[in-house]
């Protein structure tokens, strides 16, 4: 955060930056003020993944046909079945997972 604030205050950027909106323009913000701001406002920019991991072992929540183990007639087709977060956007893989789930449900897989 300190590095970003230093970069934003460089003369070359002054023509395009009117003011710092958050956490505020004070140059002397304490480390604790910055930490408090981050803890209050930071959010993830990705969909949580891996909370209902798919697999064939006993620890997997979802089987390879996306059925929830031990819960009849329930399937999961979102990013939660991914074993770990991918390096890119999760939208395309989730569309593929949903399409595959539709195939399973319709019986064409």
Q: Looking at the annotation, which residues are catalytic? A: 47
Residues 6 or more apart whose Cβ sits within 8 Å of residue 26:
none
Q: How far apart are CA 109 and CA 104, in angstroms?
A: 5
Q: Give the residues across from 62 on adjacent strands.
A: 54, 68
């Amino acid at each position: 955060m300190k590095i970003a604030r230093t970069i934003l205050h460089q003369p070359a950027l002054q023509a395009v930056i009117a003011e710092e909106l958050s956490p505020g323009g004070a140059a002397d913000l304490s480390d604790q003020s910055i930490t408090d701001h981050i803890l209050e406002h930071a959010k993830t920019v990705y969909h949580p993944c891996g909370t209902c991991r798919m697999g064939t072992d006993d620890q997997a929540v979802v089987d390879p046909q996306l059925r929830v183990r031990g819960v009849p007639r329930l399937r999961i087709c979102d990013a939660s079945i991914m074993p770990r977060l991918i390096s890119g956007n999760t939208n395309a893989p989730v569309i593929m997972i949903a399409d595959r789930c539709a195939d399973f449900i319709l019986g064409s897989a």
